[in-house]
């Protein structure tokens, strides 16, 4: 039972960090990107959200793969 609690705690921590990163991106990166590249002003939130989603998904799958490990060892 404790291993499940550790897994849930790790997932909660990763989710918290992901939320903080998304908030920082929305607060600082998007306005900076619009200022630097005004032609991307209409699509920059979607580009950044897609990029952040891709990074977070890959990171989540990598962490999950390392945490679970290889169960088929003989």
Task: Retrieve residue 64's tokens.
Answer: 């999950």
Asked if 74 contacts 28 with a C-beta cutoff of 8 angstroms, the reply is no
pLDDT in tens, 14-40: 888 888 887 887 788 778 877 887 887
Tell me which of 73 and 16 has the higher pLDDT: 16
What's the confidence (pLDDT) of residue 44? 72
Q: Are 45 and 30 in contact (CB under 8 A)?
A: yes
Nearest to 14 by CA among 57, 54, 51, 49: 57
Write down the pLDDT at residue 23: 85
| Percent of the chain scoring above 90 in pLDDT | 0
Query: SS3 string of 5-63?
Result: HHHHHHHHHHHHHHHHHHHHHHHHHHHHHHHHCHHHCCCHHHHHHHHHHHHHHHHHHHH
| Average pLDDT of span 58-63 | 83
The whole model's pTM is what?
0.53
């Amino acid at each position: 039972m404790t291993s499940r609690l550790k897994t849930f705690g790790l997932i909660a921590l990763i989710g918290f960090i992901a939320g903080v990163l998304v908030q920082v991106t929305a607060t600082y990166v998007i306005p900076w990107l619009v200022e630097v590249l005004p032609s991307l002003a209409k699509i920059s939130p979607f580009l950044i959200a897609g990029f952040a989603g891709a990074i977070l998904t890959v990171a989540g799958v990598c962490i999950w793969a390392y945490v679970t490990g290889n169960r088929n060892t003989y």
